[in-house]
Amino acid sequence: MPPGAKREGTDVPVSEITPKSLYLGRREILGGALLLASPIVTALAMKSWIVPRRAVHQSKPLPVPVVTAASTAPSTTGAPFATGFFTDEARTPLADVTSYNNFYEFGLGKEDPQEAARGFVTRPWTLSVDGLVARPRVFDVDQLLRRFPLEERVYRLRCVEGWSMVIPWNGFPLAALLAEVAPLSSARYVEFTTLHDPERMPGQRRDVLDWPYREGLRLDEAMHPLTLLALGLYGEVLPNQNGAPVRLVVPWKYGFKSAKSIVRIRLTDTEPPTAWSVAAPEEYGFYSNVNPDVSHPRWSQATERRIGEFGRRRTQRYNGYGEQVAQLYAGMDLVRNF
């Protein structure tokens, strides 16, 4: 699709998300187009588009209890679950959540990570929290699991490509972790870095992105109660393809802000460069708040396809979390700061 052209009513294939020069040679793209012209291949592609291929999911329950709204009696404990922590929209089945993934360290296809990350070893694993903090720390991931009570948070996830899911994450507010390291008054941003190990993450052997995958938030976004560090989903240990052992979840932003398999969190005084803003600065901004009114330069963001559903639904501003987060952006030009 030429730059500037907009498209609506379809998901955006990976070949268009990633700058093409990084993804495929032109000949391979043409070959793919010819292949897709065949009715049988088209029918198969349509089937996997509607119903992701089911993987045999290796179920592993979390070793610690998870506090859910149902397990909490509001009369005795107050109201620990604030508005926005839940949605009563139907949850995307676990089989779809674990078989339709974006995790470029394990391949570019949606169904690649479930296979390629199967043997990914996530222990031992440490998470460093440093930079502009009074008490830098290195946490072992099992220490994290026991130190911070895990909550269930049922959030919508809206990918920049135009599809969405509803996922019951198990995690704790990032703010709780940041409180332990005591941010300095000079800290304004938070950088998240994924593991860099091409031996264990085969996708990093290709120059698809400037590895390691990096993301960033403003400090007030990072401290917002909706911002979560997830160690599980559906009551299970976080599956490898979903970013084991620990990932970020920021539900009002496009899914790519939610970095997977994090090893470092660094507080800074300047806006950190991110993997996607380095790859295509005019396409992927630092803020990347879900916004149906601001199109991607090459496609519309007005609608989305909920995985498992036919048809498309309208995309909500801030992915439906405006009541909770809009004040973070008061007075900002959200077209310039996309």
Judged by the rule CB under 6 A, the positions of this chain that interact with ligand MTE are: 101-105, 157, 159, 194, 213, 242-243, 255-256, 258-261
Round to whole Å and give the CA distance between 242 and 118.
Answer: 11
- Residue 240 contacts residue 120 (beta carbons within 8 Å): yes
For 296, residues 6+ apart whose C-beta sits below 8 A from its C-beta are 12, 160, 283
For 120, residues 6+ apart whose C-beta sits below 8 A from its C-beta are 106, 200, 201, 240, 244
- Closer CB to ligand MTE, 72 or 111, in the complex: 111
Least Cβ distance, residue 104 to ligand MTE (angstroms): 4
Least Cβ distance, residue 247 to ligand MTE (angstroms): 7
Closest CA to 290 of 302, 273, 279, 282: 302
- Residue 75 contacts residue 215 (beta carbons within 8 Å): no
- Closer CB to ligand MTE, 148 or 284, in the complex: 284
- Closer CB to ligand MTE, 261 or 300, in the complex: 261
Least Cβ distance, residue 30 to ligand MTE (angstroms): 26
Round to whole Å and give the CA distance between 115 and 95.
Answer: 13
Least Cβ distance, residue 135 to ligand MTE (angstroms): 27
Q: Which residue is nearest to ligand MTE (CB)?
A: 255
- Closer CB to ligand MTE, 187 or 233, in the complex: 233
- Closer CB to ligand MTE, 104 or 120, in the complex: 104
- In which order are the strands placed within the sheet that holds 126-131? 137-140, 126-131, 262-268, 189-194, 214-218
Least Cβ distance, residue 73 to ligand MTE (angstroms): 31
